[in-house]
Amino acid sequence: MNKIYNPDTADWATVLKRPTQTVEAIEQTVNIIFKEVQQKGDDVLKIYTKKFDKVDLDTLKISDTELDEAKTQISDALKDAIQIARKNIETFHKAQITRKIEVETVKGVLCWQEKRPIQKVGLYIPGGTAPLFSTILMLAVPAAIAGCQEIVLCSPPNKEGKIHPAILYTADLCGITQIYKVGGIQAIAGMTFGTESIPQVYKIFGPGNQYVTVAKQIATKYGIAIDMPAGPSELLVVADDTADAAFVASDLLSQAEHGIDSQVILVSTSKTLIENVEREVEKQIKQLPRIEIAQKAIDNSKLIYVTNDQDAIDLINEYGPEHYIVCVENEDFYVDNTINAGSVFIGNYTPESAGDYASGTNHTLPTNGYAKQYSGVNLDSFMKSMTFQKITKEGIKAIGNAIEIMAEAEGLQAHKNAVSLRLKSLKY
C-alpha cells in the first residue's frame, strides 16, 4: 500500500484522488447507447447484452418459472440470513416515517406538509463479479414502506442468460415481479426511456461501476431523478493504537474486494499501527478468493500518517468517505466533528460489513466525495414532500397587503391583482 507521512494541506487533493475516470472519458459511450435505446428499444438492449454479457436473449423479463426455480437453488441458511437482514432494514426504515406537519402561520393561514410516494422507481442491481442481492433489500424494502406503486428491477445476466438465484429470491421476497435481464448503461437507458419490455420510471436507484454512475447522471438530462452518483465503493478507517490491526486490515480488504477501482484509506496518528495493518493486509489478502481484484484495489489505496486528531478530521472531511470506520480512543471527537461521510461505523466491533448486510442501515451511499452534498438512501429517498395551504377570508386580509407590495416591487402586476380582487370583494 502507498504510505504517506504528514502530507501538506496543499497536497491533500492529490493524495486523496480517487482512481476513477472522468465523466468526459465515459460520457460519449453513454450518449451513444442512450440514443440507440431511445430509438430502437428492446432490440438494442439485446444487442448490447450480447456484446457485454456474452449471451443471446429471446426475452428480457424474468418468468415466474425462473423465480420458482431460484427458491430451490439457495440454501435455507442463506434464506434465513436474508430474512433476518430484511427484518432489521425494515425496522430501521419504518422508524423514519414522519407525520404530517401542520401550522397556522397567522390567523386564517393554514400550511401543512405531507409526504407522498414516488409512483414508479427503478432499481439497478449489479451482477458481474459479485451479485449484490443485499442491495435489493436496501432499495426494495424502503420503496415498499414508502408505498411506491411500481418497482422495476434490472440486473445483468450471466453467460447462461440467468440472474443469480439469490437476486431472484430476494426480489421475490420483497414483492418485486418486474425483473429484467439487462445490465450496465443499457439498463439505465431502458428505465430512462422505457422500451417494449421495460417500463419507464421516475427515479433510478442503485450502485454500479463508473459507466453505470455516468449513465445515471446522463439520465437526469432526460427528466429522470437518481438517488445519487454512487460509483465504485470506498472506505476510510481512522484508527490509533487502541485499534486491532487485524480488524482494521479485514475492513480495508472487505471493500478492496468489491472491484479494481475501489479505494480504501487508513488515516492514523500511529506509525506503529500503520506498519501492523500493512503486515496484516499482506497476510490476509493471500487467503481471499478474490485476491486479484483486492490486490489491484489495494495498489490504489493509501496509509496516511498525521500527527494529531485535528489534522486527521480535517483530512477526512476533505475526502468525504462513503464508508467511514472510527476506531480510536477519542471517538467522540471524531464522531462529533465528522461532517462529510455516507455512513459511520464506530468501535472495534462495528465492521463495515454489518451495514452492508444486516444491521439495518442502508448501504446505498454517496461515493467519490459526494458525501459532501448527498445523503445515503433512506425512506425519504422514495418520497416527495408536498406543501398545502388553505387561507380564510381573515387570513387573506392578514397577509394580502404584504403580498401586494412585494408583487408590485417585483413588477408582477397580475400577482398583485390576484390578491387585490379578493381583498376588494371583502369590502362589500
What's the CA gap between 150 and 176, in Å, rounded? 9
The answer to the question of whether 389 is labelled as a binding residue is no
Instruction: Please tell me the distance from the alpha carbon of residue 120 to that of residue 403, in angstroms, as a whole number.
Output: 37
Q: Is 93 a catalytic residue?
A: no
Q: Is 331 a catalytic residue?
A: no
Residue 263 is assigned to a ligand binding site:
no
Is 258 assigned to a binding site? yes
Three-state secondary structure of the chain:
CEEEECCCHHHHHHHCCCCCCCHHHHHHHHHHHHHHHHHHCHHHHHHHHHHHHCCCCCCCECCHHHHHHHHHCCCHHHHHHHHHHHHHHHHHHHCCCCCCEEEEEECCEEEEEEEEECCEEEEECCCCCCCCHHHHHHHHHHHHHHCCCEEEEEECCCCCCCCCHHHHHHHHHCCCCEEEECCHHHHHHHHHHCCCCCCCCCEEECCCCHHHHHHHHHHHHHCCEECCCCCCCEEEEEECCCCCHHHHHHHHHHHHCCCCCCEEEEEECCHHHHHHHHHHHHHHHCCCCCHHHHHHHHHCCEEEECCCHHHHHHHHHHHCCCEEEEECCCHHHHHHHCCCCCEEEECCCCCHHHHHHCCCCCCCCCCCCHHHCCCCCCHHHHEEEEEEEEECHHHHHHHHHHHHHHHHHCCCHHHHHHHHHHHHHCCC
The answer to the question of whether 209 is labelled as a binding residue is yes
75 is in an annotated binding site: no
124 annotated to a ligand binding site: yes
Annotated catalytic residue, options 323, 329, 404, 408: 323
Interatomic CA distance for residues 38 and 52, integer angstroms: 19
**How are beta strands 383-391 and 109-117 bridged, if at all?**
antiparallel
| Residue keyed to cell 493524495 | 15
Does the annotation flag 233 for ligand binding?
yes
Instruction: Name every residue whose Cβ is closer than 8 Å to that of residue 321 and which is 6 or more positions away in sequence.
Output: 234, 235, 236, 265, 340, 341, 342, 371
Is residue 111 exposed (0-12), middle (13-18) or buried (19+ Cβ within 10 Å)? middle
Any known ligand binding at 410?
Answer: yes
Residue 323 annotated as binding site? yes
To the question of whether residue 255 is assigned a binding role by annotation, the answer is: yes
Q: Which of 278, 280, 322, 352 is catalytic?
A: 322
Could you list the residues known to form a binding site for NAD(+), using ranges: 124, 186, 209
Question: Which residues are designated catalytic?
Answer: 322-323
Could you list the residues known to form a binding site for substrate, using ranges: 233, 255, 258, 323, 356, 410, 415
Could you list the residues known to form a binding site, using ranges: 124, 186, 209, 233, 255, 258, 323, 356, 410, 415
Could you list the residues known to form a binding site for Zn(2+), using ranges: 255, 258, 356, 415
